[in-house]
Amino acid sequence: MPFRFPVIRVSAFLAVLAVIATAAFTTTPAGAQEEHTAATIERDSREALALLKKNSAPADKIAEDAAGILVFPKILKGGLIIGGQYGEGALFQNDTVKQYYSTAAASFGLQAGLTTFGYAVFFMNEKSLSYLDNSDGWEIGTAPNVVVVESGAAASLTTTSGRKDIYVFFFDQKGLMAGLTIEGTKITEINPD
């Protein structure tokens, strides 16, 4: 007699897992929840960029030559078959915030869990930066050329290696979901208070 998974028990288990994971990521102590104001987005983005440059020599090195750096310090990604992610960040040019942006993506497939992470987008020339400025919501993967820098490959990245238009560094992943991707992510200009 073949073994059959009890569908109701598996579904119930996944539902309980989703509730527990959601509660773990959304529960904050009383008074600790901050608004997403321009000041908090800028502060969090500056801190995240400083930490990334401290922990990644290649990110620190190419930051010197970047036309702009878009930093999303904390993105929440979660899903149970249908998933999504969202975060807010700041675009820095010459250490000054030029604009604020949101990042969002949706996905469908075999997935369950929650994670938080951040990422920084290094625009290496004015042409790639102007693409962000001139698009009404940029979907990564459409254009220009984007390279996701894996931690192992980051060691070989130098300012003289074949320079691409845009480099993306992921950082600070925490949680229960594996597999970070940038493909299909939409970046949209926002105007926080």
Strands 166-175 and 68-93: unpaired
Strands 68-93 and 138-139: unpaired
Q: Which domain holds residue 180?
A: 34-190
Residue 151 inside a domain? The answer is yes
**The pLDDT value given to residue 165:** 87
Distance separating alpha carbons of residues 102 and 189, to the nearest angstrom: 6
pTM metric for this prediction = 0.74
Tokens of 89: 């960040």
The residue ranges of the chain whose pLDDT is under 70 are 1-35, 79-81, 108-113, 141-144, 151-163, 175-183
Residue 104 inside a domain? The answer is yes
Residue 127 inside a domain? The answer is yes
72 in Cβ contact with 89 (< 8 Å)? yes
Query: pLDDT per residue over 121-174, tens digit each?
Result: 999 999 989 888 887 777 776 666 778 887 554 444 544 444 678 999 999 877
89 in Cβ contact with 41 (< 8 Å)? yes
